[in-house]
Structure 1
Amino acid sequence: MTLLEPHAFLLILLLIPFVVVLVKDRAFKISLGKKIGFSQEPKSLSIRGQLILGLVFISAMATGLAQPQINTEKTVKSVPARSDVQIMFAVDLSASMAGSKQADSLLRIDRAKDLIREVAGELPGIPIAVYAFTNITVPQVPFTTSFSTLDDMLNVNLVAGSLQKACTNRDNCSEVWQAMYRLPTEFTPKTQKKIIVVISDGDIVEPHTPDSIRYLKNQSIKVFAVNIGDNSEHIWLRDKKTRQVTGYDPKPLLVYDTELRYLASETGGQFFTENNAENLAGALKDVIGQGPVDAMIVVKVYENISAPFFLIAILALLAYFTLYIERIDVFNPFRLIGKRISQKPSKVK
């Protein structure tokens, strides 16, 4: 057992003044009783009993505050993190990613999040990061091998249209090629296998240039692309107060695949539509290859056991005060004085 805060045991020094107070209080009450003719010591908790309860209370409280921990071991499955591979998702965050077929259907951006979660669940131990792009590129989730961390950050990040204020033209705000220049610099330099997965509806502002593809090839980066969305989807309008659906934006949310197909094919990646995106994880596995084998390892587990000591301290304190109040009732000086007066013999008339 280990103690996180061992200095908490200094509280035991409080026992010294506690004992002094008990002895003086007891001596005073007995002396007072004798003065008024009550020579018998009151039948209540003795000094020894009070001292024991006080010792239990202070010791248990000090032990609880010291935060004792029990060190145990258990065998768990370990998935070693791959240091040779990094996968980066680049997600289109333009306003069109807020489209859906029905008002209560999942938005394009929400389906993109689900796809990222699905891939991450299939690739344990692979560092995954998420970036969002419009005409700027913004990090959303740093490289992590923790699925829970990724899931938590996806829940609060990646809101369609949240980067629209940076766009000079709200209708043309999806510059994937600009993102392809920025993202390669975010990989760890010594990473051997660098993969970018673009998720977009394909409504790209500027077409590719030979330099953009050459730059990705020089960085040895493979790009996979997922074309998400359907031409029948809309951005649904809602009342600001009631949140009731009032209609939809008549502007069509068209889906394009030309640039995404070209980007994937020219960099050695693969193109997917939303209908076959379930094959993305398998395609990525084929590229990154077999990593370290999962192993069963023994890890230390620390369990805090402060709670029982606090419970003991509270029970001891309650017992002490209960008996102390009873003692006051048994040995109340005013009650004794009244009793002493009532016992005086009456004068014979």
Structure 2
Amino acid sequence: MKWHNPDILLWLIALLPLMLVTGLMLRGRIRRLQKMADRGLWPTLLPLLSPRRLRTKNFLRIAALALLIAALARPQWGFKWEEVKQRGLSIIVALDTSKSMLAQDIKPDRLQQAKWGVRDLVSELRGDRIGIVAFAGDAFLQCPATIDYAAFLMMLDDIYAGIVPLGGTDLFQALETSIDSFEKSEEAQSDKVIILISDGESTTGDPLALLPRLKEESIRVFAIGVGTKEGELIQTSEGFVKDPDGNVVKSSLDEKLLERIAFETGGFYVRSAPGDFGLERVYQQGIAQLQREDRESRMSKSWTERFQWLVGAALVILILESLIRPVKWRSKA
């Protein structure tokens, strides 16, 4: 047996104080009744009162809540072996983490929208390797190309504006680091794709100098332009970003460079928009059309979900709880 989301089980600890509080509330109710009348008079004054039924109903509610929490943790037991084929496509997401990505012309900001878009892209992949390069004025490989999507998403969540200490935006370093990362991956001979996500404002380096190398190694670049042509001020926790002269900096989308890089390498360019970041189009119209070759296969355990049993048990308990009256039935005699 295993749990798909074991961290959710920690919420069961919160039920202990809940049980204590509700128990004390019921006890307080009984004590107030004892002050009003001696317990021996209750059968006469309060013939329908049933403290035991009240305690039972409270216990059943908490038990049902515990089962629902356990169901959210997705218990799994029983499995079957399935053959999983490794596909020969490697993807590197080069993600701009410069301060300009904090501009809020795309809510909540450009970088967060980009991260959500990449997360949606991962859900479309079926055995393709994916890695990520974070860049600003420099670049580094945050996660090598891998089929461990859970690990990739963890590394994606760790990215923030400023993770690269050197300021500015260097698309040359972003592409060069991405190209070099393919040579370190296990699928060195597989088809290769770079998804370049940026607002296009390259402040240093000349990414066009890498076009011959990209073509030679048959690496396609699909570019996503993040932001609007009108632009937006860049707001950080320390206030608005200013240039050396003290003027407030306004960041706007520069598409020309991104369009050329994508076009020259056989990819295409997409401008992001609210509600449509563009990565779905990149996958459906670009990446999904690439030829893939099955290179190897492995056996993988496919666990059977069992959360339905816990949900069903919780519903049964809630039905039983609703059938228990908080007071005794009145005799018709």
Letter paired with 1:177: F
Q: What SS class does the counterpart of residue 173 from structure 2 fall into?
A: helix
Equivalences for 1:1-349 in 2 at 5 Å?
74-75=79-80, 79-82=84-87, 84-101=88-105, 105-156=107-158, 158-163=159-164, 165-167=165-167, 173-187=168-182, 188=185, 190-206=188-204, 208=206, 211-230=209-228, 231-238=230-237, 250-275=248-273, 277=278, 278-289=280-291, 299=301
Deviation at 1:208, TM superposition (A): 4.3
In the alignment, the residues of structure 2 paired with residue 270 and residue 110 of structure 1 have an alpha-carbon distance, to the nearest angstrom, of 23
Deviation at 1:282, TM superposition (A): 0.7
Task: Flag the 1:247–1:195 CA change in 2: closer, same or farther, 3 A.
Answer: closer
Task: Flag the 1:138–1:281 CA change in 2: closer, same or farther, 3 A.
Answer: same
Task: Flag the 1:291–1:201 CA change in 2: closer, same or farther, 3 A.
Answer: same
Deviation at 1:205, TM superposition (A): 2.0
Letter paired with 2:271: T
Identity of counterpart residues, as a percentage?
Answer: 24
Q: What SS class does the counterpart of residue 101 from structure 2 fall into?
A: helix
In the alignment, the residues of structure 2 paired with residue 247 and residue 291 of structure 1 have an alpha-carbon distance, to the nearest angstrom, of 49
Of the two, which has the highest radius of gyration? 1
- Corresponding pairs, count: 213
In the alignment, the residues of structure 1 paired with residue 166 and residue 135 of structure 2 have an alpha-carbon distance, to the nearest angstrom, of 11
- When the two chains are superposed, the root-mean-square deviation of aligned CA atoms in Å is 3.1
Q: What SS class does the counterpart of residue 141 from structure 1 fall into?
A: strand
Task: Flag the 1:271–1:77 CA change in 2: closer, same or farther, 3 A.
Answer: farther
Task: Flag the 1:296–1:176 CA change in 2: closer, same or farther, 3 A.
Answer: closer
1:230-266 alpha-carbon deviations (Å, 9 max, x no partner): 234333355x7xxxxx778742111100100000000
1:124-155 alpha-carbon deviations (Å, 9 max, x no partner): 21110000112211111222212222222211
Task: Flag the 1:209–1:285 CA change in 2: closer, same or farther, 3 A.
Answer: closer
Deviation at 1:166, TM superposition (A): 2.2
Q: Which runs of 4+ in 1 moved over 4 A?
A: 76-79, 206-210, 246-249, 290-293, 295-298
Partner of 1:309: none
1:264-290 alpha-carbon deviations (Å, 9 max, x no partner): 000001111103503111134334335
Partner of 1:42: none
Q: What SS class does the counterpart of residue 89 from structure 1 fall into?
A: strand
In the alignment, the residues of structure 2 paired with residue 107 and residue 219 of structure 1 have an alpha-carbon distance, to the nearest angstrom, of 34
TM-score, normalising length: structure 2:
0.56
Conserved? CA contact 2:93–2:130, under 8 Å: yes
Q: What SS class does the counterpart of residue 232 from structure 2 fall into?
A: coil
Letter paired with 1:74: F
Conserved? CA contact 2:171–2:207, under 8 Å: no
Deviation at 1:207, TM superposition (A): 7.0
Partner of 2:60: none
Letter paired with 2:172: W
Conserved? CA contact 2:92–2:193, under 8 Å: yes
Letter paired with 1:183: S
Task: Flag the 1:253–1:76 CA change in 2: closer, same or farther, 3 A.
Answer: farther
Deviation at 1:201, TM superposition (A): 0.4
Conserved? CA contact 1:86–1:191, under 8 Å: no
TM-score, normalising length: structure 1:
0.54
Deviation at 1:218, TM superposition (A): 1.1
Task: Flag the 1:198–1:77 CA change in 2: closer, same or farther, 3 A.
Answer: same
